[in-house]
Each structure stands twice: as C-alpha cells, then as structure tokens.
Chain A
C-alpha cells in the first residue's frame, strides 16, 4: 500500500486532501453525493488515477456509463486511466430487448446474481487498493425491498474493506429516492453541488478524522476537479514580529510614527484619481528596496497603464517586476470565486514569500468576484494575511469627490488596523490634495493633514496644514491669520 506520510490516501484532487486533513483513510468507505453534472465521475476517475500513479491497483465498477465512454471522457480531461481496471456492468444495447422479453421473475432477482458474481470475481482477482462504484444506488433496483438493499450494501462494503480496498461510491438521490440510508453506512460523505454561483464541495462526515467544514469552491475544467478550500484564518499564524515597513517618505513616516507594521491591514481611502494606487506603490517600492516581495492585484486598472502611471511619478515598477520583487496581476470580472482568489493569494504568500499584498480596489474586488458573502470572504482573506505577518494595503474608493467625510462606502471599516485618507481640497481657488491618518492601531499618529502631491520626481508631502478647519465635515476651510510653520 502506497500512502502518504500520515497514512492517508490522496484523493488525487488538488485541494481536497487539504479539506480532508491529508486525504482518505485506508480501508474506509466514502459516499460521493451530488446531482447530475456535479463532477462525481470525474472525481472518482481522479481518485483511481492517483492510486495508479502511486503503483496501486484501482478498480472502477460502472453500473451506468460504459467503459469506452468513461475512458474517452477521462482522456478529454487529460486524466491517465491507463492502469485502471474497469468492470463494466452497464447495460449493453441488447439489454432493452432482453428485459422486455422476460416477466417470469422480477429484474431484481434476475440481474443481481450475475452482477454480484462479476464484482466478487473482479475484486478477488485484481485485489484493488482503490475501488470506485458509480453509482451504487443502481443496486437499489437489484433489491426486492429497502431492507434487502441496506443489508446487501453493508455486506458489499464490508467485503471490499476486508479485501483491503478504500472505497468511493457515488449516489444519485432524488426526493422520491433519497440516499439517507447510504449516508449512515459510509465512513465519510463528500457532497458536490452546482448552482447559479458555481460549483462547491462540502465534506459532511469523515469518521476517524477532522476536516475543514463549510462549502468549498470547486472548478471543473481540463485536468479535472480542483477544490479551493475555504480560508480559515485561525489555522494560520506566525509569531508576532514588530517589523515596520517605511514608506520611504520621511514626512509620511512621521505621520505614521515610523510606517506600517507587518501583520496589519491599511485602508488607503479616497476618491477616484486622488493617488491611492500610487501611494500603495510607494510602500511597495520601499519594500522592494528592503528585499521584500509584493503582489498588487488590480481589479480596475490594466497592468500596463498602472506601470506607466508609476513610471511617470518616478516609481520604478518595471524594474521591480524584472527583479521579481513585484508581481502585478489584473483580475478580470467574474473570473474567480473568493475561495479561488484566496488560494492564489495563499500561494503567493506561502510559496513565494510575499510580504506586501495590495488589493486595488475593494469595490473592484466586490464587483469582480463570483459568489456570496464577499465582505465575509474579504474579512477572512485579510485576517489570514494579518496572521501571516503580511502588510495588507486595501485601496478603498469613495464615491464622492468632496463632501461628507467617509472612509469607505461599504460597511468594512472594522477590517482596518490603519486608515490613511487622501482628499481633494480647495485652497485659495486652487485644487489641492491632502493626506491624513485617521487610525493607527499599534502606535500613535499625526493628527493633522498635509498636502499631497504626485510629481514626476515622486510623491511630495508638505508640512502639516494647521490652518485647515472642519476636516471631518468633508468640506474643510482655510484660516488665513495663522501662518504655516
């Protein structure tokens, strides 16, 4: 038996082993539930193919789809089922006329015995480590009553387990023929669903093991099924490290009492075009100068335009990308679910040692992601990044250019450890920009606004604008009789 280090069987499905805390337990039986088109057969094929790739013997018992059709579909998905043994108990084309021609016994009694003999013979001959039965519920029609079905299935599953097999079996349930009885018999239950928001997988039972609860996003495409485990921030956590990321701008560092701490979430709030992305890139540039890698996910702006804008204000984005210190990713609309996106972010952090992550912008994230509970999903993602000691920058767009002071148009302020805001101001008939800090959880901060300007030489931050009044009203006014220091 060829298992992984913690004596589990890999499912062969990327992400599912993580949900199952390492994989399936050897010798156990697992029920795979789901409606038509949810991917049960594909998952079963991947389960068997994974076994074959590890030198195990694998048996596919099909009661519905023919072996030829299954092999063809596996080939289309790019799955290698060369070494998988098939026991094809699906009806052949002659079955229709045969069934019509007898009525002396019930089909249950006529068909069951040959099926049972064929399975017994195949299992004893092949001695498979993995068996997939698709769908086991077909046996319901080979039983004369519910009691017989339950007894036969229990006996069958025990027979397979005794032969040393780990068994996955699918069910086709409907309101008139539910599969609750099978749920009690199985050691584990994996449920696949498909609705308007996409595909999901839920583990409902895993006897003898823990599992990641909840509904996990599933993608089914060439290569088979991929599961994107729901992010559980509490499962991750690094020791708190008091590292601070400087902005590289002495005035801004002074406002922030040194900079932004690792493991904190910073909102860069402001109206459109005020310079949120540029300010974020300023921190990213400083991180790169210290050898720390960053990723910026742009939901609104094309990467080329963003890079050009950075270069025009003296931020060397291309150089950072070339040196591998920065990755800029454009996220197209409705391309990912939050779970898929979170897995991508996780890989950047855990495999690429990314230390700064910027989402540009929160409203872009909300519009681009498919699925439900997007605020909760964003919360989980930022919490995870915090726990991993990453500097998180969230560009938060305000709908109105001026007027009522608001940090965000969404109810997400509670996510922020730090809030840096950018605003348009009118001073003596001229439009200016100002920067301020509204919140800093881990240190003190400067309470005044400063002028904020983006020039071809970079970001310029002026002295504190002590003559401003009514900042939090959203329409500050300038008091002339108090000179700036």
Chain B
C-alpha cells in the first residue's frame, strides 16, 4: 500500500504554476481488480449486445435502443453514480469515468447512455429534494424510466440562458404550465422523464423542472436526420401548456442556469473519458487492418507512413487518457475532502467538480479532438475501405464528429477555460500574477547558462515542461495586462492561450503517468510509455510554439513583440529526439500486439 501522504491538494487550474509529483496523480494502471472487472463486464455487454447489432441500432429499429438501456440497467450500468440508498451502486467518480470510457466504443449507445446517466439523472441526484430523489432515482438507476435533458432551443444553443421556454404559475399556485420548443434532445423519442429548463416571468436566469411524460402536453417532431450517431434518438420536443406540479421544480427559482452549467462541467470531463474507448477501438481496427492488408507484397503495417499514423494515434490517446483520469482523481479527492469536512455528499460532488471546471473543459476539447484525429487517420489507413460503409471506419468517422459540438462546443470550452483561469487569478484563488511577473523579469535577464541537472530519467522533459508553462504565463500575462476586461472580445487570442494550456496539461499528464508507471514496473517494462511521453511532449512544444507566436503577433508590437518572441524561443527550447525512431518503436509494438495495448 502507498503510505506516502499526498502533498497539499492541488487547486483547479493550478497546474499552470505548480509542479506536480508523479506520486500525487492517479494513473489508469492503478485501477483495482474490481474496477477492471466492471470495465470488462461493460466491454462484454458491448461485444454481446451492441457490436453484432450495430445495423439494427443505427437504423433506429423501434424499441431497440430502449431495450439496450433496459439491459444496461439490469447489469447496473445505469446506476454507477447513484447512491445505494436510491438503488444505485454509489461508485467513485473515476469508476463512472472508466465505465463511460469503455462505453465510448459503442457508437450511438454511448450518447444514449451519457444522456440518461449524465445530464438526465445527475440534475436530480445533485439538486433534487429528498422526495424527488426517492421518487425518481431508483427508476432511473434501474432503467425502468429513461431520461433526457431539454436545454437547447432553436435560438439558444451556446447562449443557453437566452432560452424562450416559459413556465407560468397556475392561478391556484399548484403547478407551472411550461410552453416552449426544445431542440437536439437526445433520448427524446423514448424518454419517460424530461429535465426541462424554462423561464419564469422575466427572470434573469432559467429555472429547471422535472417533467414526466405522463404530465401531458408534450409533442415531438420526427427523428432528426443526422451525420452520425444515427441510432441515438434526437428530436425536437414541444411543451404546450405542460402542467408541472410546483413540487417538481428542481432546486430554487432562477437556479436553472447554474444547474445547467454545473451539470455540463461533469458532462465535459465524462465526455472526455467517454471517447477514449472509441479512440482505442479505432487504433485496434486500424492496426489489424494494416496487418492484414497487403500491398507491394507486404502488410501495409510495415510502411513507415502507416507506422507514423499508428504511433501518433496511440500517443495522443495515451496523453488524453492520462490527463482524464488524473483530473478525475483530483475531483474525487476534492469531493472526499469536502465530505470529510462535513459537506453533504451531493453538494460536495458539485463543488468538487466545479473546482476543476478548467480541467473539465480541457478534457472535453482535448479528448474529442484526439478522437477526431484517430478516426480521420483510421479512415486513411483503411484507404478505399475507409470510405466504404461496409467497414467500421466510415461509421466511426461520422459518429465522432458530434463530440466537438455537444456539451459546449470546443470553441466555447476554449474561451471558458481561459476565462475561468483569469477569473481565479483575479480573485486570488490561484497565484498566476506572481509567477507571471517572475517570468517577465526572467525575460529581461540573462539566460542561466549553467543549466539544470537533466541526467535523470525524464528530467530533461520535466525541465522543458516547466519552461512551457512560463511561455503560457508570458503570453497570458501580457494579454491580460494589455486588454484587461476587453480580452473577452479577443477570442482568437483566447483560443491560442487555451491551446497552449491544453497541450501543457496533456503533456504533463503523460509524463507524470509514465514516471509513476516506471516506479511501479521498472523502466524496462515502460519503454513504449516513455517513448509516447516524449513524443507527446515533442508535439506539444511544436503547438505551444505556434500558438504562442500567433498570440504574440496578434497584439504585441515593436520591441515588446521582439522581446516576447525571444522569450517564446527561450521557453520552447527543446533538443528534439529522433521522432521517426520513437514512432517506429511504438508502432512496432502495436503491430506485434495487433491491438491498442496500453
């Protein structure tokens, strides 16, 4: 057993200014036998019930998806996060992430599962009264009832709080009448329960309600014709004077927007985990195809051009997975410490996630873009067959695309994560200003030519990472100084800073995971992980350099620009590796194993 105590708990966003010890992060290799067995049972469920029936699912065979959810409910998969007192299993945050990760390879089912267990169930779990929880959670945890979440409207997408749906109190004060149009509602076609956001009178913020289908006044459009996740029910839902008892208001009047934001925080990191399974399956399919497909008399997996793709896919997955479970554990630890300090469990869970909202947004963006990269290269490795609907890549490619859109577009998330970081710095919750000023001083001083000790394993990489953080502090610090509150209007610069932050978090997570894994298994057994951590860092340096430059030339002028560009050069200095050889090594390992094997 680990007897070392953790160093002082990290704050959300603090990774930018603080060095994290490898022993303080959780890595997927630490999942217990029980958690692994749960993941395997989930995989067995997919192999048995979904994979052989993909065509039935994606053609929306009537009743097929709800029946799948029923089966998932019988296995307990719908109650992972629901406490045992309400018929669930009360498992930890990272366990629920692990299950979402495995289900990520199940195409449309993954969306139906996320909509039901995440945005459909969690609002009641976190904001419901005891009566509401008693009434609804057991039904949702077992799958007897299916849930959906009605926030988006035709004119209120990213700007969710501008929704026009109204809730009007009846004359007798017994119920609200909800009227309005909701759009892109996953699971709408078969849902028994709707979490609905509506505005009371001219309130500034929305209010949330639990609406049962049986309340009446609910009609729907036909199923949307979509690019991907075709098996997931997506409809417009119309509420026409739907009577909702006043006791079905969720939380208090005007608190709906806050609920939406907080539930989305969870949804974002869950989506991050929820694409990992799909990413890994894409690599497995790709490497198998590359091993079987012969051209010029040899398997195409023997070509460097294919190896390069396989290795890069694996490297990106390795990084996103490392970051996702690292953030997941940070959230879990925070939740536990809040519970230990006497906070009620539901509130602690919300606060825990809220603390790491920056990391949640990072994971949503990074993981969904890793998935997109993987399916794109997957199609390419399959060549002509990648474009054919007979092979799995065509569906994977279409299914993946939505991940960059829902749970807040990746653009909104990028802007948010920088905004949140700056807000925390201004509030003094994390000390960005001190380190940013130190970096400013360093810029005008003579570089330390003595150098640091870089002889230890991964010591050089850690030094590089430290400098990358300085590059971010330099660019972000100067941008805040120059624009002040107007930085919000400079979305292009915010996006560049966001990309730099995302890359540092992912690269650091891959390094820390590798370092911890070496301490568990020894260096010899971690060669490919070492290679991938190095490869990811290489890519991150490149991107941080490019994005940093883009930001600097967008606002700094004259000598100031020159100094910053020199600073960027200094902070992204990197003695590159022979990346061709590193990639070949990773790819050869995958080719030999014939499966994503990390």
A and B are partners in one complex rather than unrelated chains: no
